[in-house]
Amino acid sequence: MINTPTVFILGAGSNTNYGFPSGKELVDEICRPINRTSYNDHKETTLSSEQLRSYGIDPRAYQTFQKELIESRLSVDLFIENRPEFDEIGRKAIAINLLKCESSDRLFWGEWQYLYFENKRVRQGSESWYDLLWSHLTSPFTFDNFSNNKLAIITFNYDRSLEHFLFTALRRSSGKTDIECAEAVKTIRILHVYGSLGPLLWQDASGVPYDSQASPTAVTSSQQHIRLIRSNEHKDSSPEFEEAHRLLEKAARVFILGFGFDYTNIRRLKLPQLLRDKEVWATSLGLSKSVKEVIIKGLLLRRVREQTKDVGGIVDSDYLIDCTVYALLQNNVSIY
């Protein structure tokens, strides 16, 4: 059980092991040309004009969106923040591509189930930090103890894989009803600061099911739950970010996992101010040297660009680990 008030901050790098794309990969996937089929691998088939129309998207408008997005060199979130004329088509594109990735088989079984167990052991490995977190939340396991964990999660991801994982695991391990398990899982606040693909069915009977395979109905519903802060609105906050500030204020310990340390998001979370005097751990896999220099505490200010001084000094160098989320939580720190 997690007894220390703890907050996880999750970026796109935290769930790539579960079949979800990084920010750049999401742009690449959205911008794949429509109406193209690979004869070598049917899974390489791209969206067709007919499929786009089933989502209420004009194929020509989608191609224009693709061209402008890829040439902007921005993430899809930041692109549609700054280009409100692409708001609806952009949110639908996000929903289509991420809903396709929401697969219970991928989440719980890892690789395909027909592998021999020895091959599966080698290929799948055991690096599931969801499983690792589950073991911390449920040690020792009783249904009532689950609700006593002092954990909150702030996520920049739209997918619902973590809440689906926790609910399903609790439902199967306890044998309790959906209602009982839903109430227990809700005690761990999972805050999607930019919205999500929508509530799951156990959260709202009219929600969006996991394993929807990006059906037109699911996409139409999901895209309405993706929320962005418009750059032309001259504000840098939202009710979600204000709640995130409250969660961080109450935390004694913060883990920043798979996060790209985008300076806009650092400012919106107020990390330099709110993480002061707290125990902070972070993964840095894939971060550039310049980003590391900004976020590490104690570096000489002359090494930090003037425009990034207000987002610097977040984590001590010894607590910024160049490893996966699993490796950090398994090998570097105890999260009980």
51 inside domain: yes
Residues 3 and 47 in one domain: no
For residue 151, the enclosing domain spans 1-19+112-194+229-336
Q: Assign 259 a pLDDT band (cuts: 50, 70, 90).
A: very high
- Does a structural domain hold residue 204? no
Candidate from 1-10, 90-99, 285-294 with smallest mean pLDDT: 285-294
Main-chain dihedrals φ then ψ at residue 155, nearest 5 degrees: -125, 140
Indicate whether 139 and 35 sit together in one domain: no
Looking at the structure, tell me whether residues 275 and 312 fall in a common domain.
yes
Same domain, 278 and 327: yes
Q: Across the chain, what does the average pLDDT equal?
A: 89
C-alpha distances out from residue 178 to 140, 149, 188, 212, 268, Å: 22, 19, 16, 19, 35
In a domain, 201, yes or no: no
Comparing 9-13, 80-84, 104-108, the range with the smallest average pLDDT is 104-108
Q: Is residue 265 included in any domain, yes or no?
A: yes
Write the Ramachandran bin of 38: left for phi over 0, alpha for psi from -120 to 50, otherwise beta.
Answer: beta
* Percent of the chain whose pLDDT exceeds 90: 74
Nearest 5°: CA angle at 231, between 102 and 302?
A: 100
pLDDT, residue 43, reads: 57
Pairing verdict, β 253-257 and 6-10? parallel
> Residues 42, 165: one domain?
no
The region that residue 57 occupies, defined by phi over 0 for left and psi between -120 and 50 for alpha, beta otherwise, is: beta
Within a domain: 142: yes
- What b/e sequence results for 230-258 when a residue is b if at least 16 CB atoms lie within 10 Å of its CB, and e otherwise? eeeeeeeebebbeebbebbeebebbbbbb
Q: Are 102 and 108 in contact (CB under 8 A)?
A: no
| 199 belongs to a structural domain | no
The per-residue pLDDT for 241 is 95
Tell me: do 179 and 300 sit in the same domain: yes
Q: Are 310 and 270 in contact (CB under 8 A)?
A: no
Residue 136 has a pLDDT of 95
Which tokens belong to 70? 């890829």
Residues 215 and 284 occupy one common structural domain: no
Residues 278, 139 within the same domain: yes
End-to-end Cα distance, the chain:
6
Q: Identify whether 105 is part of a domain.
A: no
* 134 and 269, same domain (yes or no): yes
Please give the Cα distance from 119 to 101 (Å, whole number): 24
**SS3 of 120, please?**
helix
Burial of residue 318, with CB atoms counted within 10 A of its CB: 0-12 exposed, 13-18 middle, 19 or more buried: exposed
Same-domain check for residues 333 and 303: yes
pTM: 0.90
Does the structure show a pLDDT above 70 at 139? yes
Cα 47 from Cα 49, distance rounded (Å) = 7
Judge if 126 and 51 occupy the same domain: no
Closest CA to 106 of 160, 159, 27, 161: 161
Length of the chain: 336
What's the rounded Cα separation, in Å, for the pair 118 and 109? 14
Contact 242, 270 (CB under 8 A): no
User: Per the structure, how many domains does the chain have?
Assistant: 2
Residue with the two structure tokens 């761990």: 188
| CA R_g for the chain | 20
Please give the residue that has the higher pLDDT: either 205 or 126.
205
Residues 156, 11: contact at Cβ < 8 Å? Answer: yes
The answer to whether position 137 is within a domain reads: yes
Local structure of residue 33 (DSSP, 8 states): P
- Are residues 133 and 5 both part of a single domain? yes
Neighbours of 272 (CB within 10 A): 17
Q: Report the candidate in 87, 100, 84, 83 with the shortest Cα–Cα distance to residue 47.
A: 100
